[in-house]
């Protein structure tokens, strides 16, 4: 077996036109790429200078170390990942050729394709993000998927996509990958800012250009002003930070925050990739805003149509019922016998008019049923409910939406929506709450919806309103959950308030086998 640094001759691979022995030093000197000899156990035996440089370690540290290559593969070029140091990676494209002899050694020629593969991953991420814009059912699903693409393409620690709310006054996390969602994240962030913490993402918003901050975590970790978010930000290993504005049609809709793993550099190519993905996110946000405007316009037009229908049919018919009832009163007020035929005729007309009113009302009620999975989707229907209730009542809502809602069928989605709507109705009517948290998501083929408030609690509400103790709609909510084999639980929260939680198993589709 050849030894490191020796001049032992190595035979060229079979098929070479000439067969004079070539020494390892001569072969290594003229090799354009990294060249290594790997033993039968897959460990480095020898490396030329180019191979040592590519591997990023000294030759003494490499000899005897398992190589990343498959020595038995002679089927063409393949790509493997090599870690020069913890947290780092390089992509090597390589080819192998088995050397003759009992040692069963293999010569490997390899080159660094990290940058090339990185560019490919970024291009693929941009393409998948574009496809998501046309396939995702909600803006949250779009932005969560986009954040995941950025994290995977650049091996980042985390990404947040933060946008303005519908009024354009406050910020909210609409897409995230890496960090888990905290309901009170922005409350804590504002406490940090009030304590003097510098929010560099605001610089990106104000300047409308990317902001890169090396060694950001070290600064935050040592700054007591960031104490409210120290636990949150310490969940992942990260170092540098970048914030890129989401700009579309001349407006800044938010920012994309990128948290880089220790050892990662933030160069021009990285900022360009983040900017490209931020453009995709801005398009998604703009699309959602336009869709919301269209829906608001449709609702206004629908209200106007209903007003016309009510006036043209039901109001007219109810007016006629009133006139017929007045006619009966006039007949009865004459003091003499009331003609039987007249009474029967008027009563028949009142009955016909009442049936017509009931028919029209039932048709309108059917039309007014809120669209869930069939049109808006469960997430958007709940989001619209939360928004309208908050605007009407002043309640503060925290809506947390998980993954998997696209898998919920329309009928289950309808019942889930009704459970949420009834629970929120109870909070408005009886809880005297200030904040309501709504959670909905799917995990392991189970849909879970939770509505929790910080009010006086269900027991106190029942004690204050004993005549309504059985009228909280709990029976209806429970029946909707049990219809699908699920459960509904109503519990007091620790401290104050009530939690309503419905758990509904989703049907698992089994593919049919072809006979």
Q: Which two tokens stand for residue 252?
A: 């800044």
Q: How far apart are CA 353 and CA 314, in angstroms?
A: 9
Look at residue 41 and give its three-state secondary structure: coil
Q: What is the pTM of this model?
A: 0.46
- Interval 430-467: pLDDT, tens: 888 999 999 999 988 899 999 999 988 766 555 544 44
- Among left, alpha and beta (phi > 0; psi -120 to 50; other), residue 87 is left
Q: How far apart are CA 146 and CA 280, in angstroms?
A: 8
Confidence of residue 211 (pLDDT cuts 50, 70, 90): very high
Sign of CA dihedral 25, 26, 32, 38: negative
- Interval 286-330: pLDDT, tens: 777 776 676 666 667 667 766 766 666 677 777 777 787 777 777
Q: Residue 435: what pLDDT?
A: 93
- Residue corresponding to tokens 């392991």: 444
**Domains, the chain, with CATH or none:** 9-112 (3.30.450.20), 118-287 (3.30.450.40), 371-508 (3.30.565.10)
The per-residue pLDDT of the chain, averaged, comes to 79
| Percent of the chain's residues with pLDDT above 90 | 24
Most distant CA pair in the chain, distance: 137
- Interval 40-84: pLDDT, tens: 889 999 898 889 989 999 989 999 999 999 876 666 778 888 988
Higher pLDDT, residue 374 or 234: 234
User: Are residues 292 and 285 in contact, defined by beta-carbon separation less than 8 angstroms?
Assistant: no
- Interval 113-147: pLDDT, tens: 877 766 666 666 666 666 655 554 567 777 888 88
- Interval 323-369: pLDDT, tens: 877 777 777 777 777 777 877 888 888 887 787 777 666 655 544 55
Q: Residue 466: what pLDDT?
A: 46
């Amino acid at each position: 077996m050849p030894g490191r640094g020796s001049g032992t001759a190595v035979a060229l691979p079979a098929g070479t036109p000439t067969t004079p022995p070539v020494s390892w030093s001569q072969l290594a000197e003229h090799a354009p790429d990294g060249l290594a000899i790997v033993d039968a156990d897959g460990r480095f035996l020898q490396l030329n200078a180019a191979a040592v440089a590519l591997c990023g370690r000294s030759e003494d540290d490499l000899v005897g170390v398992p190589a990343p290559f498959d020595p038995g593969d002679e089927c063409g070029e393949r790509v493997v990942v090599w870690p020069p140091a913890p947290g780092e990676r390089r992509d090597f494209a390589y080819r192998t050729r088995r050397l003759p002899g009992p040692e069963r050694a293999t010569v490997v020629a390899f080159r660094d394709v990290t940058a090339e593969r990185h560019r490919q991953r970024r291009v693929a991420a941009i393409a998948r993000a574009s496809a998501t814009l046309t396939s995702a059912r909600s803006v949250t699903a779009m932005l969560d998927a986009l954040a995941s693409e950025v994290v995977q393409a650049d091996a980042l620690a985390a990404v947040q996509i933060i946008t303005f709310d519908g009024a354009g006054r406050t910020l909210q996390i609409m897409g995230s990958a890496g960090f888990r969602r905290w309901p009170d994240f922005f409350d804590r962030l504002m406490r940090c800012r009030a304590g003097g913490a510098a929010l560099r993402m605001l610089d990106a918003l104000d300047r409308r250009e990317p902001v890169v901050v090396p060694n950001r975590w070290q600064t935050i970790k040592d700054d007591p002003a960031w104490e409210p978010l120290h636990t949150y930000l310490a969940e992942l290993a990260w170092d540098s930070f970048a914030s890129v504005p989401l700009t579309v049609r001349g407006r800044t809709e938010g920012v994309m925050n990128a948290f880089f793993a220790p050892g990662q550099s933030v160069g021009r190519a990285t900022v360009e990739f983040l900017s490209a993905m931020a453009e995709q996110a801005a398009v998604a946000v703009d699309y959602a805003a336009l869709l919301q405007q269209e829906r608001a316009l449709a609702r206004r037009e629908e209200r106007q149509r209903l007003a016309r229908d009510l006036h043209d049919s039901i109001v007219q018919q109810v007016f006629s019922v009133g006139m017929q009832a007045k006619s009966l009163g006039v007949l009865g007020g004459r003091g003499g016998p009331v003609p039987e035929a007249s009474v029967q005729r008027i009563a028949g007309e009142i009955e016909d008019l009442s049936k017509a009113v009931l028919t029209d009302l039932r048709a309108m009620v059917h039309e007014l049923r809120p669209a869930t999975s069939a049109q808006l989707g469960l997430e958007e229907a709940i989001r619209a409910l939360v928004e309208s209730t908050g605007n009407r009542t002043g309640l503060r809502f925290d809506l947390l939406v998980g993954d998997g809602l696209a898998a919920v069928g329309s009928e289950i989605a309808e019942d889930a929506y009704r459970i949420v709507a009834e629970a929120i109705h109870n909070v408005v009517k009886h809880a005297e709450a200030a904040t309501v948290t709504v959670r909905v998501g799917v995990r392991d083929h189970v849909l879970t919806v939770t509505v929790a408030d910080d009010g006086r609690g269900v027991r106190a509400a029942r004690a204050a309103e004993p005549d309504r103790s059985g009228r909280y709609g709990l029976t209806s909510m429970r029946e909707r959950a049990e219809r699908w084999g699920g459960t509904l639980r109503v519990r007091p929260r620790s401290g104050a308030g009530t939690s309503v939680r419905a758990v509904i198993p989703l049907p698992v589709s089994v593919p049919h086998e072809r006979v």
